[in-house]
Amino acid sequence: MALSDHPAERHRQIAGLFTDRVRATTSWDVPSPVAGWAARDIVRHLTEWFPGFLASGAGIELRRGPSVDEDPVAAWHLHSDAVQAVLDDPETEHRKFTNPHIGTLPLATAIDQFYTADVFMHTWDLSRATGQDDRLDPGFCAQLLDGMEQMEEVLRSSGQYGARVEVPAGSDVQTRLVGFIGRDPFWQGQ
């Protein structure tokens, strides 16, 4: 299924896939492809960085749920539902997000570019860590890779991405994206 170009619907689709992976996870302490992280830490990352980003850039406070240590499934569900509620709110169309590093953007665009894209990429991490289907939408992989390659120096200097992992010539777009963001596309859990 192709992903929507509309931020609210694209989030619904991407967060839905991540939710499926969260629900099917049977061990939260297995290692992940992100160095030093277990599966639980992937959910922790997504539920912890975004509320502050949203609050500081748009003045929106998301509902908080249980900690990821207590209940990663419930923590993810509550967080994901809260983000979707912001995107589905008719007022979001008129709201702006302002950040000193990126300027001012429509709120839905900022959520889509920074958060939904992060959920998309971390879906691969959780899937691979927990032995689930790790296939991602190739069209969105290509869109993200194209955009990120144009600003690679900025991304690398931010500290948010590891060094690019070289992949074999002719690799598919998902493999190239995963390598670009600093993951070994051939990583296997222990």
Q: Give the pLDDT confidence of 92-143 residue by residue, as tens digits.
A: 999 999 999 889 999 999 999 999 999 999 999 999 999 999 999 999 999 9
Q: What ranges do the domains of the chain cover? A: 7-136
From CA 46, how far away is CA 39, in angstroms rounded? 12
pTM: 0.94
- Backbone Cα Rg of the chain: 16
Q: Does domain 7-136 have CATH number 2.60.120.10?
A: no
Q: Give the pLDDT confidence of 26-51 residue by residue, as tens digits.
A: 999 999 999 999 999 999 999 999 99
Q: Mean pLDDT over all residues of the chain? A: 94
Q: Count of residues for the chain?
A: 190
From CA 61, how far away is CA 164, in angstroms rounded? 34
